[in-house]
Amino acid sequence: MIWFILVLLVFGFIFGLIARAVVPGDDSMSLFQTWALGVGGSLLGGFLGAVIFGFDSDDGALQAGGLIGSIIGSILLLLIVRVVRKQSR
């Protein structure tokens, strides 16, 4: 469990940066917002992966599918943030 939290904190920023690099457009976000995007995307990607493919019995294991799911979740969350920001204007 501790390993999962550390990976989430450290890699959250990296996932946020990757999502912002993959999705073109102007996203004025602070470093904290980028980190929150990555962490939220990791949680969203993990949740969607668990719903679609079932829960993994090896809790906290670092897997390539989890990394890819985290990036996909971050991209989805970034797109949701853009829609919300666009509607609030």
Is 1 a member of any domain? no
Give how far Cα 61 sits from Cα of 16, 23, 58, 83, Å.
21, 28, 6, 33
- Does residue 7 contact residue 62 with C-beta atoms inside 8 Å? yes
Give the span between the Cα atoms of 86 and 76, in whole angstroms. Answer: 15
- Residue-averaged pLDDT of the chain: 83
Q: Is residue 4 one of the residues assigned to a domain?
A: no
Q: Which pLDDT band, with edges at 50, 70 and 90, does 57 fall under?
A: low
Residue 3 lies in a domain: no
Per-residue model confidence (pLDDT) at position 14: 92
Domains held by the chain: number? 1
Residue 46 lies in a domain: yes
* Region 43-70 average pLDDT: 72
End-to-end CA distance of the chain: 40
Instruction: With respect to residue 60, please indicate whether it lies within any of the assigned structural domains.
Output: no
Q: Dump the DSSP string for 29-40.
A: --HHHHHHHHHH
Residue 15 belongs to some domain of the structure: yes
Q: State the residue range of the domain holding 39.
A: 9-22+32-55+66-89
The answer to whether residue 71 is domain-embedded is yes
